Structure 1
Amino acid sequence: MISLKTGICQLFEIEHPIIQAGMAGGPTTVELVVEVSNAGALGTLGAAYMAPDALRKAIKEIQSKTQKPFGVNIFAAPVNDDFSRLSEVQNALSPFRSQLDIQEIQSSYQSPDWSEEQFAICIEEGVPIISTAFGCLSEEQMKAAKEHQVKVIAMVTTVEEAKEAEASGADAVVAQGSEAGGHRSTFSLDNHPSGAQIGAMALVPQTVDVVKIPVIAAGGITDGRGLAASLVLGAQGVQIGTRFVGAKESGAHDAYKQAIFESNEESTVVTKSFSGRPARGIKNRFIQEFEETGIVPLPFPSQNTITKDIRAAAAQADNPEFMSLWAGQSTRGLTEEIGAAEIVKTIIEEAKRIIN
């Protein structure tokens, strides 16, 4: 008999084997994290783009509103800016800026490098769970996490990455299938320039067979069927992103939420156009027209830094055609805003019916 009380429930001290993905850039508000954690799942603050002071404030606010465990997600990849082709890429971005009436264009850029400070703040403020994207914590960071009894989750896209995460000391891995929305968490793009594209149905069981630490399934999971199927594949829980983007408590722009509600399994593509790193999102004018130029984006995070003004202006203008609309492939059934606690409850109830 498959149980919904899995190893990760004990490991993370949660009631339900559901993790709300740590989506950076705005969707994971304090309210969303708190609602998910109070509902018995694991809320996660997507902190990768948060300035240190803002992160510390958000952590304190979460702690004031819930006694339940929560996580903070940060990027593990070093920041290596490369603006050597800046003028070439800026030429490709000019039409979008004209369309959005952006007058002021910066002449020089520098991407923020906050990950070490973000990690230190998590330790100082007593965050119980830290999750990483794009790699593993450093040896020194992992040692500090262990000393402070902080649990560590690494998001992986191949079995080899899962083995590397286990060897680094991670307590669990999220096996991120190619169906997942947002950035591919592939550690190195040298071997996988478009990010490793292995579906969850293939990645999860093969990862379970190789590592001894718990595996959490991710990618295209939005309901109790996805949770039940993941448990059958050997996962001990699921990580869900896109469905929580559409939650009432999500900080995603209304136009972004509406784009998800109007999309289907054919709507998304994997692109480097916005950030310089492979990410799955709803195809819009920006992706189509930038790719039609044939100009290669700057590497991450430099491309992300120079397109920030375009995304901000698009949000200001309520124009989803120039926003990064990160979403997975299972959006057909997502049609309206509902509360995060209701999402957790519905998924668990459906999974119980299927399993029983």
Structure 2
Amino acid sequence: MQNRILFHNGKSLEVPVIQGGMGVGISLSSLAGAVMKEGGMGVISAAHPGYQKPDFWENSMICNIQAMHEEIAKAKEWAQGKGLCGVNIMVASKDYEFYVKAAVNAQADAIISGAGLPMHLPAIVKDADILLAPIVSSGRAAKLILKTWDRHHHRLPDFIVIEGSLAGGHLGFKKEDLITNKAEPLEKILADVKALLPEFEERYQRQVPIFVAGGIYDAQDIRHFCDLGAAGVQMGTRFIATQECDASPAFKEAIVQAQKEDIELVKSPAGLPGRAVMTDFMRQVKEKRIAPSHCIGCMLPCKPATTPYCISEALIHAVHGEVEQGLVFAGANAWRITEIVTVKQLMDELKAAFI
């Protein structure tokens, strides 16, 4: 099975495994650099990488931009010239354009963008030498992006990430469809997106690799989707349970100890359904609103006066180790994880899919 992917700008990915971007502080330079060193794409989340800086609550955007530069540089140093460094940036972020420009200036290799449709991403990066990838959860979303980027920006995505309904964190599906299991399966979305590409690939004379995400757990899953035409996969939750993950030991242990019944759909102030390991805090949120003690206005859809809770505070509590007072996003298969391993061990297991 072919594994190395050569992108149109000459950059290549030796192992077509993308480590999903996980904020706040779950995927920073330690995790991303370790994945890169094994030939994959390590991804730093732009969702508050500067949360540990002393003036974060007063100057969050500046702290985050400083941290992005620092974390990208450290990841590349750790990787010793191997792999690619991506940055995951949410369209729903109030400071989206500033974070995109910061990723370009920090010389990231790729921007992966979801939690909304990144319609204007090419206009922000202009002619910068950086790979651009939208995250989509339907053929309809992919079609809209392909047509918009073609018509208004005269370019194609460099690759596409399809995120299915079994993913952790924010989900691009209606909550009722998730509850009733009516969300389209990942296989169907992959087929729909693949069917859209030939017209655009012919026009631009290059291919657009597709990476699938959401519920991908092992080499068998990878082989299944590659047989269906995916170029590779994006995985988040499994990388939490690694020694190099930037989260606290308590956060990682929450993933390892989670049972199937502990993983539920949750309400997010971002206006999207999410999936997480249930904690005391999230159980309280089911019953009542917990007003934010800080507000930095970080998410466009979030209204401080009515938000059910502050997602930034909840994520920061969790990543610091105060798990029961916070939010632990996780994929539907998190319950299958039983131990913490090194990134090398995990990547070696996943590489078996491409032999």
Q: Same fold (TM over 0.5)?
A: yes
Once the two structures are TM-superposed, the CA of residue 46 in structure 1 deviates from its matched residue by 0.7
Partner residue in 1 for 2:111:
130
Q: Name the amino acid aligned to 1:56.
A: H
Q: Would you say 1:149 and 2:129 are equivalent positions?
A: yes
Given that 1:9 and 1:16 are in contact with CA atoms closer than 8 Å, whether structure 2 keeps it comes out as no
Q: How well do the aligned residues superpose, as a CA RMSD in angstroms?
A: 3.3
Q: Would you say 1:24 and 2:37 are equivalent positions?
A: no
Distance verdict in 2 for CA 1:291–1:338, change over 3 Å:
same
Partner residue in 1 for 2:170:
183
Q: 2: distance between equivalents of 1:162 and 1:348?
A: 28
Q: 2: distance between equivalents of 1:229 and 1:190?
A: 27
The 3-state SS of whatever aligns with 1:28 is coil
The 3-state SS of whatever aligns with 1:135 is coil
Distance verdict in 2 for CA 1:267–1:313, change over 3 Å:
closer
| TM-score, reference length from structure 2 | 0.77
Q: Name the amino acid aligned to 2:165.
A: S
Partner residue in 2 for 1:75:
90
1:109-158 deviation digits (Å, cap 9, x = unpaired): xxxx332111111222222211101234453x404535122111111111
Identity, % of aligned positions: 24
1:8-48 deviation digits (Å, cap 9, x = unpaired): 69975111110000112111120111110110111011112
Count the aligned residue pairs: 312
Partner residue in 1 for 2:213:
218
Partner residue in 1 for 2:334:
331
1:250-296 deviation digits (Å, cap 9, x = unpaired): 12232221121122444322211565431111123333332234999
1:54-104 deviation digits (Å, cap 9, x = unpaired): 112222222333323211111123x5xxxxxxxxxxxxxxxxxxxxxxxxx
Q: 2: distance between equivalents of 1:190 and 1:307?
A: 18
Q: Would you say 1:344 and 2:347 are equivalent positions?
A: yes
Q: Would you say 1:253 and 2:248 are equivalent positions?
A: yes
Once the two structures are TM-superposed, the CA of residue 209 in structure 1 deviates from its matched residue by 2.4
Given that 2:242 and 2:340 are in contact with CA atoms closer than 8 Å, whether structure 1 keeps it comes out as yes
Q: 2: distance between equivalents of 1:279 and 1:19?
A: 21
Q: Output aligned runs, 1:57-206, within 5 Å.
A: 57-66=70-79, 67-68=81-82, 69-77=84-92, 113-139=94-120, 141-143=121-123, 145=125, 147-167=127-147, 168=149, 169-185=156-172, 197-206=183-192
Q: Name the amino acid aligned to 1:203.
A: I
The 3-state SS of whatever aligns with 2:111 is strand
Q: Name the amino acid aligned to 1:65.
A: W
Q: Would you say 1:290 and 2:292 are equivalent positions?
A: no
1:146-180 deviation digits (Å, cap 9, x = unpaired): 51221111111111111123232322211111101
Q: 2: distance between equivalents of 1:221 and 1:193?
A: 17
The 3-state SS of whatever aligns with 1:238 is strand
Given that 1:32 and 1:43 are in contact with CA atoms closer than 8 Å, whether structure 2 keeps it comes out as yes
Q: Name the amino acid aligned to 2:217.
A: T
Q: 2: distance between equivalents of 1:8 and 1:265?
A: 38
Once the two structures are TM-superposed, the CA of residue 319 in structure 1 deviates from its matched residue by 4.3
Partner residue in 1 for 2:204:
none
Q: Would you say 1:300 and 2:302 are equivalent positions?
A: yes
Distance verdict in 2 for CA 1:264–1:166, change over 3 Å:
farther
Q: Name the amino acid aligned to 1:33.
A: A
Partner residue in 2 for 1:55:
68
The 3-state SS of whatever aligns with 1:74 is strand
The 3-state SS of whatever aligns with 1:250 is coil
Q: 1: distance between equivalents of 2:159 and 2:349?
A: 25
Given that 1:162 and 1:211 are in contact with CA atoms closer than 8 Å, whether structure 2 keeps it comes out as no
Given that 1:243 and 1:334 are in contact with CA atoms closer than 8 Å, whether structure 2 keeps it comes out as yes
The 3-state SS of whatever aligns with 2:327 is coil
Q: 2: distance between equivalents of 1:285 and 1:11?
A: 48
Given that 1:52 and 1:114 are in contact with CA atoms closer than 8 Å, whether structure 2 keeps it comes out as no
Q: 2: distance between equivalents of 1:271 and 1:124?
A: 35
Distance verdict in 2 for CA 1:191–1:287, change over 3 Å:
closer
| TM-score, reference length from structure 1 | 0.77
Gap runs ≥5 in structure 2: 50-63, 150-155, 199-207, 293-298
Q: Name the amino acid aligned to 2:224.
A: A
Once the two structures are TM-superposed, the CA of residue 214 in structure 1 deviates from its matched residue by 2.2
